[in-house]
Amino acid sequence: MTVDPQVSHFFLYQGASILTPNHHEAGRAIGRKLENDSEILKAAVEISERLSCLSLMITRGEKGMSLYLSSQKKIYHIPTVAREVFDVTGAGDTVISVYTAYHAAGLSELDASVVSNAAAGVVVAKLGAETVTPEELDFSLQSMGSFQE
């Protein structure tokens, strides 16, 4: 089960495969601001332990996203590809839908996260709630080069 939780019922998703809050939502859920990588890691551990979830992906705007894998007790910070941001409408929906599709198709959690990050980068460069085409996603992934853990 993949979940993009709302703050008001953030902790109702026990045992979810992955939750994908943004850093503001994750911070509000645990009652503190998340301003750096260390705070993101602490929040990810706390949230994943409270929910017994397998993974937690915290989206971080221009800083990309951070994927915490409970089984490895490890966090991966995935940078965004530099581009002009016009509208963040639909970015979170893009992240969870692309992640879910690619992970269900067999990509690892980390690889599916990299793809979803690239897809979100495309949609925020458009005005309004927009989609990403396969061609745009392919171009974005090629522009990123290889992801270094």
Active site residues: 93
**Alpha carbon distance 67, 20 (integer Å):** 9
Give me the amino acid identity at 85. V
The strand ranges marked E within the chain are: 2-3, 18-19, 55-59, 65-69, 74-78
**Alpha carbon distance 47, 64 (integer Å):** 19
Strands 18-19 and 74-78: unpaired
- Tokens representing residue 98 in the block: 């692309």
Query: Residue 38, exposed/middle/buried by CB under 10 A (0-12, 13-18, 19+)?
Result: exposed
